[in-house]
Amino acid sequence: MNFGFSEEQDLLRSEARKFLDESCPLDEVRKISEDAAGPGYSPELWRQIAELGWVGLTIPEAHGGAGLGWVDWVVVLEEAGRSLFPAPLIPTALAAHAIERFGNEAQHAVWLPSLADGSAIGTVAIVEAGQAPGPAGIGLVASRDGESLVLSGEKVFVSDIAAADLFVVAYRFGDSPGLALVERVAEGLTLESQPGIDLTKRIGKISLDAVRVAPENVLDGANGEAVSALLDAGAVAVTAEAIGAAEAALALTASYAKDRIQFGKPIAQFQGVKHPLAEMYVDIESFKSLVYYAAWCIDEGHEDAPIAAARAKAYASDTFPKIGIDAVGLHGGIGYTWEYDAHLFLKRAKWVRPAFGDADWHYERVAQLGGL
């Protein structure tokens, strides 16, 4: 029994932290993310992390990746979250994950190497406006035209639209959900980036107007369960980033509370300040444990994977927004300023909350999977 990280994983973590601290501190994060006309990430840093092997971390070695697991991936994501690193890491990995799990050998050979080395950027398009994130919420319809599928409909909350070369799109054919690969250049595909609160996470909507998908771009292994599994993978990934971001928010606030003197003493000495900080720690440690276990379940193909992912995302969606609010609030006036960094974490929490299903959605799944 060992619920801890290996030496290699600890090393991966310290390397990731060192790289991000040196190459992408928060002023760099601001420069990249506040440039509204830019792609929302630094192509140069993207090239570097691809060389470090992070982009293709979970892609099999045979297809140019590092062949590591989700537990390793969580380590990198925690550090990426701690730095609020703006890059299409999660969407690219999820696109690759979908292709690897539900695609065939030919699809692996076509797509995985370029996603692994960062030369192609992928993203996933699952949720629709006002709908539940699961397979039941898919309204985008597919019809047949000869061998091809023809897709029409709209997807929202799609990450990194400006950067993505490939979209993994969830559709419904009759009552059967499926996943199709749609290239950026596809005819009938309209992309619309939308301004968001969290500038480090670019989102937007895409419209498909009779987009033709050739049979080689349909993931044959995908069904309703596959869509759920992809959502779960996304939920685990963004929650792993949330661990790092929440820890950074806590560290920033605790450090401020130790230095800030009011009524003749550091405000960290007042229980009205120290207790909310302790509560942040309790919640972070708890969703951290839930995420680690969920990642392990994905690696092992364990039957607990869906409920483990649901518990992790529900807990984090429930508590991370409050951590963001308390991080700003405990700072007082300075926390409200654009210049000070506290709001960056609060904004990340607003993005994390609905991503791949919010707390209500996932708690309901916990209830269902738990026999209610």
Contact between 306 and 233 under an 8 Å Cβ cutoff? The reply is no
- 366 sits near another protein (criterion: CB under 8 A): yes
Instruction: With beta carbons less than 8 A apart as the criterion, state whether 114 and 122 touch.
Output: no
For another protein, give the closer residue by CB, 63 or 82.
82
E strand or H helix that includes residue 205: strand 203-213
Of the candidate residues 109, 132, 136, 367, the single one contacting another protein (CB under 8 A): 367
Write down the residue that tokens 């090239």 correspond to: 47
Q: How many CB atoms lie within 10 A of CB 25?
A: 11
Q: Is 41 in the site for another protein (CB under 8 A)?
A: no
Chain position carrying tokens 């996304």 = 234
Binding mask 65-104 for another protein (x = CB under 8 A): ------x---------------------------------
CB of 117 to another protein, least distance (A): 27
Among 1, 37, 106, 185, binds another protein (CB under 8 A): 1
Provide, rounded to whole angstroms, the least separation between the CB of residue 290 and another protein: 5
Mention every residue, 6+ apart, whose C-beta is less than 8 A from residue 174.
Answer: none
Contacts of 303 (CB under 8 A, 6+ apart): none
Closest approach of Cβ 253 to another protein, in Å?
10
Q: What is the DSSP letter of 223?
A: -
**CB-nearer residue toward another protein: 31 or 265:** 265
Residue closer to another protein by CB (options 12, 99) is: 12
Residue 266 binds another protein (CB under 8 A) = yes
Least Cα distance to 108 among 150, 151, 47, 64 occurs for: 64
Calculate ∠ Cα 215-217-220, nearest 5°: 75
* 19 touches another protein (CB under 8 A): no
Query: Alpha-carbon dihedral of residues 13, 14, 19, 24, nearest 10 degrees?
Result: 70
The answer to whether 364 contacts another protein (rule: CB under 8 A) is: yes
Q: Which is nearer to another protein, 23 or 269 (CB)?
A: 269
277 binds another protein (CB under 8 A): yes
Q: Which of 259, 275, 334, 337 binds another protein (CB under 8 A)?
A: 275
- Of these, 5, 48, 60, 224, which contacts another protein (CB under 8 A)? 5
Interacting residues with another protein between 279 and 338 (CB under 8 A): 279, 281-282, 285-287, 289-290, 292-293, 296, 308, 311, 314-315, 318
Q: Which residues of 252-288 are buried (b: 16+ CB within 10 A; e: fewer)?
A: bbbebbeebeeeeebbbeeeebbebbeebeebbeebb
Residues in CB range of 167: below 8 A, 6 or more apart:
95, 122, 123, 124, 125, 158, 181, 182, 183, 184, 189, 206
Task: Kindly indicate which of the ranges 10-18, 189-197, 198-206, 268-276 contains the residues binding another protein, using the contact rule CB under 8 A.
Answer: 268-276
Write down the least CB distance from residue 277 to another protein, Å. Answer: 6
Which residue shows structure tokens 């990450």? 159
* Interface with another protein (CB under 8 A): 1-6, 71, 250, 254, 257-258, 265-266, 268-269, 271, 274-275, 277-279, 281-282, 285-287, 289-290, 292-293, 296, 308, 311, 314-315, 318, 360, 363-364, 366-367, 370-372
